[in-house]
Amino acid sequence: MNFLDRANPMKTLPSRTGRKIPETLEELKAEKRRFLHETFGQIEKAFLVKALRESQGNITRAASRVGMQRSNFSSLMKKHRLFIKDIVPRH
């Protein structure tokens, strides 16, 4: 692969993502929204799980630890369908 091949995103994008390249600005915007939603959602969920594990499943402590109100933290848990029993094993 030469420099021009590497510098041309049109050649590499479909093989990397498996998706077709948008043809209109509206398609590009829709793809961007979908990508951001999926990617940020994964990061957001991992953030919640980490905080809960570090707080042994205590939601109040986890929320405080990351600088959130408990109600907002709980809302995010609900959004991502996270349950304490699935994150922190009970003994």
- Average pLDDT across the chain, whole number: 87
CATH number at residue 15: 1.10.10
pLDDT score of 44: 96
SS3 83: coil
- State yes or no: pLDDT of 59 exceeds 90: yes
Distance CA 88, CA 27 (A): 41
Residues 6+ apart with CB under 8 A from 22: 28, 30, 31
Q: What is the pLDDT of residues 13-31, one digit of tens each?
A: 555 667 789 999 999 999 9
pLDDT score of 58: 96
- State yes or no: pLDDT of 60 exceeds 90: yes
Instruction: Provide the residue range defining the domain that includes 29.
Output: 3-87
Number of domain units in the chain: 1
State the helix-helix crossing angle for 25-54 and 70-79, rounded to 10 degrees.
120
Distance CA 55, CA 86 (A): 14
